[in-house]
A and B are shown apart, each in its own frame.
Chain A
Amino acid sequence: MSWLGVLGVDHPWALLLAPLAALPFFASPLRLSATPSDDLAPDDPLSAGLGAALAAAGCIALAGLALGLAGLHLREQSVERRGVGANVALLIDRSSSMDSTFANRLPDGAEESKSAAARRLLTDFASRRPADRVAVAAFSTSPMPIIPMTDEHEAVRAAIAAIDQAGLAKTDVGRGLLLAFSMFDASSSESSRAIVLVSDGAAVIDRRVQDALRDAAAKSPASLYWLFLRTEGSKGIYDAPAAGEEDSPFSNPERHLHIFLKSLGLPYRAFEARSPGDVSDAMREIDRLEQRPTLYRQKLPRRDLAPWCYGVASFGLALLLAAKLLERRLEEAPSDASVPEPAR
């Protein structure tokens, strides 16, 4: 059943012709020569084998034609493969600040924007890891699922390519993270889940959202990586506020997000990147850390077998044609008796 299920036909009615394939075993393409007795011809294994081969050739020719007409194909199917990688949810900041460079300027020829750098390095990251299943989501004012957890790296590349479109206003990290947690499906094993958050800033996370995030982290634990693209002049993750300065999520959202993420109790690492080089280092680090055995499915596209069927049929037909061209009949043999009368 397993391999029969793999095969499909486009025109099942043409399979009605398939029983004709038994015909060569009952009839012959050659004109028959009547003989008084079988015993006249000496036994000849080569001839007997050839007879069977011709019948078989006729059989495969007819079967090949019937299957070819029916449009035999291998159904599209997915193969489960074991690889080393992870189930990665990429969560990308789409706020407008991502469109400027690390130096907080409009990108020019010399310096690329943060989103362009992120796009390039994430594309590299994804293509380096063929065994990964990747989901992509973006967030700004609200979270946007872009592509669910998938093995289709083509689609993932396209999704990543789309993130340097002009960004939107705000940065809603909390709901973005909630979305990322929800993107892991049942087929991803818990040990190999990773969320890569790429952002250049943070925002205050609502208390209710914080509770929801704690719940989500408890339900579907995942390693958490925060790739913080630090713009020149902005506050860092680890910068404790100067004495006397207010230390609140409102004034230091990045520092407090970091603290909050640490408090989730998940394997967590933050990377502060001040340049595209830092980003690439961070990516390599994540790459190194997220090497776990995973199961992923590879899709094999439908394969048309009709050309093969026709090829086999033509092979059989060529054999039959050759046999037909070699056909002789006893009655038609030359009448000059070159062989002397058998001696008494």
Chain B
Amino acid sequence: MTQGRASEAPAPRDLPYRLFGRARGVTAGAHRAVGSGGAGAFLRHASLLELPDARRIDMRASLLDPLGGMKVRRFENRARIDVFILLDLSGSMTFARDGEHDPVAELCATIAHAALRGQDRFGMIAAGPKARADLAIRATRRRGVAEEVWRALRSEPGEGSGVAGLLDSLDQLPARRSLVFVVSDFLLPSAATDALLAGLWRHDVAPIVVRSSAVERRLPAFGLVETRDLETGRRRLVLMRKSLREAWLDKSRRRRAELERIFLRHGRPAFDLVDRFDADAFADYLLSGGA
């Protein structure tokens, strides 16, 4: 990693992420929370007898009440949440990250920055087959955590095979409902993906599928391609030709569709991080909830 690259940290920008459902927590923040309080968006009316808060008597509602009760306005609480990134750092995540662009590091740094800007706490758990305690970041509001994430991930290729470490690290997530971005290529058996997402039942999970067009769309039309699996190191010769190319494309389409089914079963659809990080597309995804 050179200084030049380090200075290419993504431009800071805000992201319109939201937590599905109400946040739980007492610290004031930007997200709708359970419970009601004295400030924020109007929630409902309550009886003055029930809540003796004379400052918030709603005169109009009280006059309109046929029973003549005094009404007090209640407002919904807003709380901050924890934004976590659950990063798969198995060997396959090395792919297409060594060039000028490291989409994964850009994405993570952008999320970290946006989380701090959004008055939330940011945390990260990275794991391949083993948990990476050195990369773990507890939920924090430290300034500069975005830069820290950027630096750490730029110089961190994945290694090993499988996501056992990730499954083991799930209990490090806070017990409170948080927004969890699961960043992975999801080149896993369906059962493992399912198990990973099932372990996150407590949280609002936004899967981010890291993909590369080089192995999914921009395939050569004809020729001998010898592939090397980044996780297992196994070599495999492929005679690329029309029929095989179509089968390959079809397979990647089917794999993506199967992933989508799993994601929808556990919450949100996924964001596709293809080749490079497009912050606008990501913001659109967050706004629309992936729909």
Contact = CB atoms under 8 A, between A and B. Distances in A.
Q: Do A and B bind each other?
A: yes
Quick one: which of B217, B248, B249 has the most chain A CB within 10 A? Answer: B217
Contacts of B214: 330-331, 333
B216 interface: yes
Interface string B213-257: 111111110111111111110111111100010011111110111
B220 A333 contact: yes
A34 B92 CA distance: 9
A32 B239 CA distance: 13
Nearest to A340: B217
A40 B93 CA distance: 14
A342 B218 contact: no
Interface in B59-90: none
Nearest to A44: B244
A339 B249 contact: yes
A329 B255 CA distance: 22
Interface string A17-52: 000000000001011111111111110101110110
Given A35-B227, A344-B269, A28 B217 contact: no
Contacts of A42: 244, 247-248, 250-251
A343 B260 CA distance: 11
A36 B92 contact: yes
Given A330-B220, A337-B217, A342-B217, A46 B239 contact: yes
Nearest to B93: A36
B112 to A, nearest CB: 24
A35 B216 contact: no
Contact of B249 (A28, A48, A331, A342): A342
B235 A34 contact: no
A328 B244 contact: no
A40 to B, nearest CB: 5
B34 interface: no
A329 B232 CA distance: 19
A335 B218 CA distance: 6
A50 B223 CA distance: 12
A234 B99 CA distance: 113
Contact of A36 (B95, B237, B240, B274): B95
Contacts of A35: 95, 215, 227-230
B187 A36 contact: yes
Quick one: which of A41, A323, A327 has the most chain B CB within 10 A? Answer: A41
A213 to B, nearest CB: 81
Quick one: which of B185, B227, B244 has the most chain A CB within 10 A? Answer: B227
A334 interface: yes
B36 interface: no
Query: Is the interface on chain A under 10, 10 to 19, 20 to 34, or 35 or more residues?
Result: 35 or more
A169 to B, nearest CB: 85
Contact of B215 (A30, A36, A51): A36
Interface in A293-344: 323, 326-335, 337, 339, 341-344
Contacts of A323: 224
Contacts of A34: 94-95, 227-228, 230
Contacts of B249: 339, 342
A50 B213 contact: no
Contact of A40 (B226, B234, B252): B252
A342 B232 contact: no
A48 B234 CA distance: 13
Given A33-B226, A46-B239, A344-B256, A333 B219 contact: yes
B47 interface: no
A31 to B, nearest CB: 7
A86 interface: no
A326 B235 contact: no
A256 B266 CA distance: 124
Nearest to B188: A37
B225 A330 contact: yes
Interface string A44-65: 1011101100100000000000
A170 to B, nearest CB: 85
A47 B220 contact: no
Given A30-B226, A47-B244, A342-B253, A39 B217 contact: no
Contacts of A328: 220, 222-225, 240
Contacts of A343: 253, 257
Contacts of A31: 226
Quick one: which of B217, B226, B229 has the most chain A CB within 10 A? Answer: B226
B189 to A, nearest CB: 9
B236 A38 contact: yes
Interface of B: 92-95, 185, 187, 212-220, 222-232, 234-240, 244, 247-253, 255-257, 260, 269, 274
Given A37-B187, A331-B214, A339-B218, 19 more contacts: A30-B224, A31-B226, A32-B226, A32-B235, A33-B228, A36-B212, A37-B185, A47-B239, A51-B236, A327-B226, A328-B220, A328-B222, A328-B224, A329-B220, A330-B225, A333-B218, A335-B218, A343-B253, A344-B257
8 A-B pairs with least C-beta separation: A328-B223, A51-B237, A36-B92, A37-B187, A328-B220, A342-B253, A30-B226, A32-B228
17 contacts: A28-B235, A32-B226, A32-B227, A35-B228, A38-B236, A44-B239, A47-B237, A48-B236, A51-B237, A326-B223, A326-B224, A327-B226, A333-B220, A337-B217, A342-B217, A343-B253, A344-B260
